[in-house]
Amino acid sequence: MVLLAGGLGLQPVPSAEAVVRAAELTAAEWVTVPSGCADDMTGSEPNRVDLPRDGRPHTVRLQRSGTVSNSAVSGTSVVTGTLTGDAWGSVRMGLAISSSVTARPRGGTICSLTYKLDSGVVADVTAPRPSWLVISAKGAVRSGGTAVVAASADSGAEHVVLPGRKLTRLVPAGGYAVGTRVTAQVAVPATSSTPPAVASSASVSGSLGLFPIGTLRQQSGKARAYLTAGHRDCAGRRVTMTLTPKAATKARRITLSVNGKRARVLTGKALRRTTVRLTKIPARSDGAISATVVTRSGAVRKMTARSWPCA
């Protein structure tokens, strides 16, 4: 089963960076009743709304109520998504959906009914290189509701995370439909008596990211005023450090380590370089880099950086 319905049905676009081919927020209702039975629902139904890649939260709301068969039916869904990407090829998605439906029969009826809300935050993405797929989800489902966060590859492979779970997995380059899908559904049978009211709900919130191998994952520390780390070159097994002008004028010594082992010590003229390469970084490591800067006044400043493994 392709949980995200094969994405949005677009063709891959070749690029040197990850391409968001399309992205949407969706919220729609589905009503199933026999022919001739009442179906009178009113209210807002946004259906599909584009999700820009601007890093800001965008929200759509579905609010429906009315009479279906001989039942008072209501449905609510709030869908929020954020989407960002960068020139290196990383894509980050934030998502949150809360949906609920109820049906309150008013008496017996010869008409059965099924009422369903189907909501999602979905993007079609092309990953140009092998990438780390990272998913985190929390939420709850009740009485027939469903909620998943997933990545469905154009090749047919699926990576599915249920609320309360996490996933980190290296996936091949290619096209992916990524995002979340939430459904809430109730059914009332045809009967001469008055069935009890029925309700269903589901919610999910979390994040999904695709990070090409070697992507800089984190760097912090006051020594960043003197030097910073770039993304890792997986083919060359190296990271390029960029020195700032402050390194030449204020630093006495910079000691660089990779995965806890000393790799370079910069003093004198070496501090006037604009870049320094750290090499032979193991592919399966997170390339942990640490730098200790001793200033000309004797102060000590430190920084650390990590990247996503290359394999």
The string of pLDDT tens digits covering residues 187-199 is 999 988 999 999 9
Pairing mode, strands 166-171 and 131-142 = antiparallel
- CATH 2.60.40.10 range(s) for the chain read 216-307
Token couple for 75? 């449905």
3-state secondary structure at position 167: strand
Rounded Cα distance, 95 and 145, in Å: 18
| 238-243 β-sheet, strand order | 227-233, 238-243, 275-278
The pTM of the whole model exceeds 0.85: yes
Residue 247 reports pLDDT greater than 50: yes
- Predicted local distance difference test score (pLDDT) of residue 4: 63
b/e 269-283 (16+ beta carbons within 10 angstroms → b): eebeeeebebeebee
pLDDT band at residue 88 under the 50/70/90 scheme: confident
Return the CATH fold of 216-307. Answer: Immunoglobulin-like (2.60.40)
Closest CA to 123 of 177, 54, 56, 50: 177
Residues 280-296 have pLDDT tens digits of 999 999 999 999 999 99
Taking the CA atoms of 44, 47, 53 and 55 in sequence, report the sign of the dihedral they define: positive
